[in-house]
Amino acid sequence: MNTKLAAVGLLCALMTACGGGGDDSPTPTPTPITASPEGRWAAKIGNDLFSVMTVLENGEIWGIYASGSTLGNLYGEVSANGPALNGKLTDINLTSRVIRATDFTGSVTPKTSMDLTLTGASPMSLTYVETYDQPANALALTGLYEGNQYTHIYKSLPLANDSTNSSTTQGSNSTTVISVNKAKFQVSDKGEVTMTSDTDCSGSGTILPRATGKNVFDVTLTLQGSACALENGTSLRGIALHESKGDTMIIQALNDAKTEGLTFSAFKSK
């Protein structure tokens, strides 16, 4: 199953108070009550762009989007002050092979709506996905998933005026390497995961419910093999999403430096 189709399948399935005061003069300034952006948020723009963002309780953002033939990841962090939000977001476009980091501001109504304004990009309005509050179902996740695995590596390069550098354009000092391979992920009823691919690259790790009890899984994965696009022994950490509707799993994981990562999206085959 094509990764883009699997991603769109899950994204389509997902689209299924403050106070304060004083009692004597002068009135003290109320302390803002922070509105938590934690949760899963979905956006549909027109008939083409689908996006799902998961904001963890620690402020981490993990997202995926699909638009026509384009597939991409989002990773970042957010903090809240009252209902106001600010943070950073990195867009990893797996199709155009462009990585772009940007700041954003916004506002949130917990478990209802979230609006983001990204520097140099169109505003985004997202709606809360209530299935985030369901307990993660580890048994439902158990099975075999077959699809395309994307890996990306963000590399610094010599400056453009360096005569030894022929792989970058004028003014650029970085490049993005994207690799795509067929892969299988087997998830056991104990949360163990094994990965095999059509190259000499395998992986092992865990997919376990987060301690928060929400419908999101923690992922750890270590890669082994001489043909891995990421270096042999690379350790990745991230999240997995699963919805019983469509029986699709999405894995997003990055290394500690956030310069290398893996994305996998597929329907359960058995």
Helix (H, G, I), strand (E, B), or coil: what is residue 102?
strand
Q: Could you tell me if 231 and 252 lie in one domain?
A: yes
The pLDDT of residue 35:
86
Last residue of a domain, one of 110, 132, 154: 132
- Phi/psi zone of residue 255: left (φ > 0), alpha (ψ -120 to 50 degrees), beta? beta
Q: Could you tell me if 123 and 223 lie in one domain?
A: no
Task: Report the CATH number at residue 145.
Answer: 2.40.160
Q: Could you tell me if 107 and 191 lie in one domain?
A: no
Last residue of a domain, one of 108, 132, 156: 132
Do the domain assignments include residue 142? Answer: yes
Do the domain assignments include residue 190? Answer: yes
Q: What is the 3-state secondary structure (H, E, C) of 148-199?
A: EEEEEEEEECCCCCCCCCCCCCCCCCEEEEEEEEEEEEEECCCCEEEEEECC
Mean pLDDT in order along the chain per 10 residues (270 residues) = 53 46 46 80 81 95 89 94 95 86 95 93 90 92 92 64 35 66 95 93 96 96 92 95 82 92 89
What CA–CA distance (Å, rounded) separates 121 from 119? 6
What CA–CA distance (Å, rounded) separates 126 from 148? 27
What CA–CA distance (Å, rounded) separates 225 from 199? 9
C-alpha distance from residue 169 to each of 96, 115, 160, 164, 259 (Å): 15, 35, 7, 13, 20
How many domains does the structure of the chain reveal?
Answer: 2
Q: Could you tell me if 57 and 151 lie in one domain?
A: no
The pLDDT of residue 190:
95
Last residue of a domain, one of 74, 109, 132: 132
Q: Could you tell me if 7 and 121 lie in one domain?
A: yes
Do the domain assignments include residue 21? Answer: no
Q: Could you tell me if 123 and 164 lie in one domain?
A: no
Distance of alpha carbon 95 from the chain centroid: 16
Burial 207-232 (b: 16+ CB within 10 A, else e): bbbeeeebbbbbbbbebebeebbbee
Q: Could you tell me if 119 and 87 lie in one domain?
A: yes
Do the domain assignments include residue 25? Answer: no
The pLDDT of residue 212:
94
The pLDDT of residue 263:
93
Q: What are the strands, taking DSSP E only, across 68-112?
A: 70-81, 84-93, 98-109
Q: Could you tell me if 106 and 173 lie in one domain?
A: no
Do the domain assignments include residue 28? Answer: no
Do the domain assignments include residue 115? Answer: yes
The pLDDT of residue 218:
97
Q: Could you tell me if 192 and 155 lie in one domain?
A: yes
- 186: Cβ–Cβ under 8 A, 6 or more apart, which residues? 143, 144, 145, 193, 194, 195
Q: Could you tell me if 209 and 224 lie in one domain?
A: yes
Q: Could you tell me if 40 and 153 lie in one domain?
A: no
- Asked if residues 67 and 12 have their Cβ atoms less than 8 Å apart, the reply is no
Straight-line distance from the first to the last Cα atom of the chain, in angstroms, rounded to the nearest whole number: 13
The pLDDT of residue 166:
33
The pLDDT of residue 155:
64
- Asked if residues 263 and 27 have their Cβ atoms less than 8 Å apart, the reply is no
Q: Could you tell me if 106 and 178 lie in one domain?
A: no
Do the domain assignments include residue 121? Answer: yes
Do the domain assignments include residue 20? Answer: no
Structural domain boundaries enclosing 125:
3-14+35-132
Q: What is the pTM of this model?
A: 0.82
